[in-house]
Structure 1
Amino acid sequence: MLKRMQDKGYDFWVKLASWTAIIMVSLMIMAKVWAWLATGSAAMLGSLTDSLLDITATLINFFVLRYALLPADDDHRYGHGKAEPLAGLAQAAFIAGSACLLAFHGIERLFNPIDISNTGFNIGIAVSIFAIVCTLILVFVQNIVVKKTGSIAIKADSLHYKGDLLLNASVMLAMILASLGWTAADAIFTIGVAFFLLYNAWQVGVESGTHLMDKELPDEDKEEIISLVGSHEKVYGLHDIRTRQAGKTKFIQFHIELDDNLPLIIAHQVADEVETLLKANISGELDIIIHQDPLSVVSKSQN
């Protein structure tokens, strides 16, 4: 009953963060479309492009996460966690393509600059301030959700939107400089936004590839596993530890070394206690496989 309540709480907070992102980014998109049409600013177009990518990524993550959280079934015995990095690779390709198109637009505007009227300037500044306020609200909610759930997906999303705060600030700076006669600033900042998007696409792609290639858990996690297993009084050691992560699930496999004369029922009990110990101290959902080895057999294999 307690576990079901915890799962329900997790779902509530994650959904709250997802819906907040959808609502805030939708408001920013509507404002930025109006501002871009009114000002013709390339930097504003860059910011609009980023917001369109944001809401696309948020919607994809929302539906993919629901699928990735499905329990294992007969056709997917290891669960559906790898749906998350697969979607990440698709998002990375989409973001990279959009960034390249935006860079070409910025280069074209560099050679064919346009003046921004006072009305357009005022609209652009107002919309940029509005976008910053919306992003601050979103990041505030996401920080609360991360503290409540520890969700890696929401934490990564929050880091991205914190970067958007800098993006919206750069749009304001570009329009201010353009209004002062530095017309090239609009194009330069647009190209800068394109590189910013390419950098984000690279990060998403690398992280997704890491999960798909079954990279080992971080060294600190493995050291914690070894320490926890070794703390059991009946475990003399462990070897052949293997780890990976797919979505929210961490897969952990290893052999424990036990006394030769330990009854099978006790050896099984020790393995259960070690599994319980790991699940109580390591965050996330764990899928653990433990093999019991007699200590004398391990010693002979090492000689």
Structure 2
Amino acid sequence: MSLLQTPARYALVSVAASLVTMGLKFGAFWMTGSVSIFSDAAESVINLVAGLIAFIALLIAARPADKHHTYGHDKVEYFASGVEGTLILVAAATIFITSVQRLFAPVPLDSLGWGMAVLVLAAAINLGAARVLMHGACKHDSITLEADAKHLMTDVWTSLAVVVGIGVIIVAPEEWLFLDPLIAMAVAVNILRAGVDLLRRSWNGLMDHTLPAEEIQIITEALQAQAPDAPFHGLRSRKSGSRRFIDVHLLLPGRCSVQEAHELCDRIENLVESRLNNTSLTIHVEPVEDDASWDGHCIGGVANDGSDQQTQLPDSLQPSDDKQGG
């Protein structure tokens, strides 16, 4: 698969935008001496590093499954977003410390008008790049691209906040000079929030967090549409990058042939995969008459056989007492 056919090409947009805006913002900091502009420029450095990490991670995630990684390489996306989140926390701490020092030792600011113009241009570049990345995230269901897009949007709002603060300082330079480090502190807090959110999502992905409730609903609806009278249990799910892995136990009459069960499972799988992209559904068929098949309470996950309270069978299909006890 060529680079132009993978989600990694979107990460190059982030890298290019970060290089340009980083140069613009550090130039504005050199002209003005504003610590709030410095904080904005520092965030662009993090954007650049994050974009490079995202690019490498998406290249690895695009590799097909092999004998050492039989489920593919998609989980590298969670490592990438975790590294990005950590870098963001470091940047936030650095900006906050610098801002506190400047708050107690203010310095005069110069060429603020030029600084404002540069920040507005940088914000426009980041906004365009964020929109491109979010389009790629939706198209490829990529947490890495989504994280990068949201990070760039955080940078956009940061730049606009700094522009507003500089505008106030231009109007009243002496009285409002303290506003410069205060804006930088607010930027640091905002960056900190983004970093914590990325780390949380990375943790959930690495811990095989279940799919969202609306996606579980799609799966249960497919099961009930194709096998309305068949109980199921052990519906478990996880997501690895953009790929979804689902397994479920389906209870069918023992007289059902292997061919019939196979065709039914194919219909269920095709229906789920038509509504959820990049899905791998595994269905384990069990005889409904066998007491050993009613072990949903041991397996866990979503069920409609009475072993889970999330979904219940109609009264006419409830298992007998002796089978529930088995």
Deviation at 1:247, TM superposition (A): 0.8
Q: Which residue of 2 aligns with 1:3?
A: none
Provide closer, same or farther for how the CA distance between residues 133 and 102 of structure 1 changes in structure 2, counting only shifts above 3 A: same
Code of the residue aligned with 1:158 in structure 2: it is A
Deviation at 1:153, TM superposition (A): 3.7
Residue by residue over 1:24-49, the C-alpha shift from the partner in whole angstroms, topping out at 9 and shown as x without a partner, is 22111111111111211100111001
> Which of 276, 286, 289 is the matching residue for 2:282?
289
Deviation at 1:236, TM superposition (A): 1.0
Contact 1:25 1:51 in 2 (8 A): yes
Provide closer, same or farther for how the CA distance between residues 141 and 88 of structure 1 changes in structure 2, counting only shifts above 3 A: closer
Structure 2 residue matching 1:231: 3-state secondary structure: helix
Distance 1:89 1:21 in 2: 18
**TM-score, length of structure 1 as denominator length:** 0.89
1:302 maps to 2:291: no
> RMSD value over aligned CA atoms?
2.2
Deviation at 1:221, TM superposition (A): 1.0
Q: Which residue of 2 aligns with 1:87?
A: 80
Structure 1 residues not aligned, in runs of 5+: 1-6
Contact 1:234 1:270 in 2 (8 A): no
Contact 1:85 1:211 in 2 (8 A): yes
Deviation at 1:13, TM superposition (A): 7.6
Deviation at 1:266, TM superposition (A): 1.7
Residue by residue over 1:90-119, the C-alpha shift from the partner in whole angstroms, topping out at 9 and shown as x without a partner, is 2222211121111010000000111112xx
Provide closer, same or farther for how the CA distance between residues 102 and 172 of structure 1 changes in structure 2, counting only shifts above 3 A: same
> Which of 20, 25, 29 is the matching residue for 2:18?
25
- Percent identity over paired residues: 25
Distance 1:213 1:13 in 2: 26
Code of the residue aligned with 1:93 in structure 2: it is T
Residue by residue over 1:112-161, the C-alpha shift from the partner in whole angstroms, topping out at 9 and shown as x without a partner, is 111112xx212211211111221232234335545655544434433332
Report matched runs for 1:189-208 at 5 Å. Answer: 189-208=183-202
Distance 2:6 2:72 in 1: 22
Structure 2 residue matching 1:228: 3-state secondary structure: helix
Contact 2:154 2:191 in 1 (8 A): no
Structure 2 residues not aligned, in runs of 5+: 295-318
Distance 2:133 2:113 in 1: 30
Q: How many residues align?
A: 293
Contact 1:235 1:257 in 2 (8 A): no
> Which of 114, 117, 128 is the matching residue for 1:126?
117
Q: Which residue of 2 aligns with 1:273?
A: 267
Deviation at 1:174, TM superposition (A): 2.1
Contact 2:99 2:181 in 1 (8 A): yes
Structure 2 residue matching 1:296: 3-state secondary structure: coil
> Which of 174, 181, 184 is the matching residue for 2:178?
184
Contact 2:81 2:144 in 1 (8 A): no
- Which aligned runs of 4 or more in structure 1 are off by greater than 4 angstroms? 10-13, 146-152
Deviation at 1:214, TM superposition (A): 0.8
Distance 1:84 1:148 in 2: 16
Which structure has more RCO (C-alpha within 8 Å, separation ≥ 6)?
1
**TM-score, length of structure 2 as denominator length:** 0.83
Q: Which residue of 1 aligns with 2:309?
A: none
> Which of 238, 251, 273 is the matching residue for 2:232?
238
Distance 1:269 1:22 in 2: 47
Q: Which residue of 1 aligns with 2:45?
A: 52
Contact 1:13 1:148 in 2 (8 A): no
1:69 maps to 2:91: no
Moved more, 184-193 or 77-86: 77-86
Q: Which residue of 1 aligns with 2:34?
A: 41
Distance 2:116 2:228 in 1: 67
